[in-house]
Amino acid sequence: MSPLSDAYRDHPLHLHHIIPLDFDSVQTVPDSHVWPTSHALESDDHLSIPTVDLMDPDAVKLLGHACETWGVFQVINHGIPLDTIGEVESEARRLFSLPTGHKLKALRSPGGATGYGLARISPFFSKQMWHEGFTVMGSPVDHARELWPNDYQRFCDVMEDYQKKMKELAITLMQLILKSLDLSEEEISKVVSPGDASTALQLNSYPFCPDPSRVMGLAPHTDTSLLTILHQSTLNGLEIFKDGVGWVLVSPTNGSLVVNVGDLLHILSNAQFPSVLHRVVSKEKEQRLSLAFFYSPPTDFHVSPLALNPAQVPLYRSVSVREYIHIKGKNLEKALSLFRI
């Protein structure tokens, strides 16, 4: 068991907050999954998140500006081969296309953090989401064996390789982002070290839906992580909330990855970088997939504001990653405010 999965054991969920709907068996959207309608602002040239080229000589400045003004950006020339992303998406499709009863063999346990099930934010909302997920931390071999007793190795190899590449990218991004805050190499190395980190890979499926306008794929939330790196398949659905603007659509573009600031980076930056509120709405009837990689420090690491000049006061008290996960597990929206000084 990884220390990160261990951190989730303290607040087990009821099975009804873990087991997804049998999406294959429904002809209409059940009342349990009908959400009030909300209209998003369609993205246009004036409303699109920044794109940062990692090969740009000004990447540090551009990343800092994107984190400060939006809390989210698309990254290109990130070094992750498109073939690698395609393989992970293909394996995710293979998993989610299994019959529901079969997928339940890999169900996340009530106190567990990995395997098949609903989003962890489900208990905070009165309506259920049109979503099923599969969480991986390290090797998924135990759950993969349940799904494919004679053919699990390919899934494991692809997931482990992707996590390794994503962790390397996350470290690169974190180093550049922290440089934009004028931190010293020594300060940066305390937060970002190649060996220690808490990471998780979340495979998301938003299944075929008979009436997409009535459902919510993933309810509004911020991520706990330092940062999250997301690949989305070709269908629209992801929206981020920008103050003074409203909901902004983040359309998938070929070859780019979406990176968003999480709560822990918000604390680290002393609120200079907003932890971006985001959601997934269903735009099409067809299935949509995404792959989210979450990067955080080790669970015993204490996060506190680093980017302070002599005139600044810290806005947040120091908190361990484990404690923050525990508090957010009980107070989804209020977690950050509870650590505000």
Helix axes 82-96, 153-179, angle to 10 degrees: 130
288 annotated active-site: yes
For 132-192, give the DSSP string.
EEEEESS--HHHHHHH-TTS-HHHHHHHHHHHHHHHHHHHHHHHHHHHTTT--HHHHHHH-
Q: Which of 97, 100, 130, 134 is nearest to 284 (CA)?
A: 130
User: CA neighbours within 13 Å on the CB side: how many for 141?
Assistant: 6
At a CB cut-off of 8 Å and minimum separation 6, what does 86 contact?
none
DSSP 194: S
What single letter denotes the amino acid at residue 58? D
Single out the catalytic residue among 9, 288, 317, 340: 288
For 261-288, give the DSSP string.
E-HHHHHHTTTSS----EEEE--SSS-E
Q: How many CB atoms lie within 10 A of CB 178?
A: 27
Look at residue 69 and give its three-state secondary structure: helix
Q: Report d(CA 155, CA 190) in Å as an integer.
A: 33
Q: How many CB atoms lie within 10 A of CB 323?
A: 16
Residue 76 structure tokens: 């290109």
Q: To the nearest 10°, report the CA torsion of 98, 81, 276, 47.
A: -110
What single letter denotes the amino acid at residue 115? G
Would you mind telling me the total number of residues written for the chain in this entry? 341
Give me the active site residues, please: 288
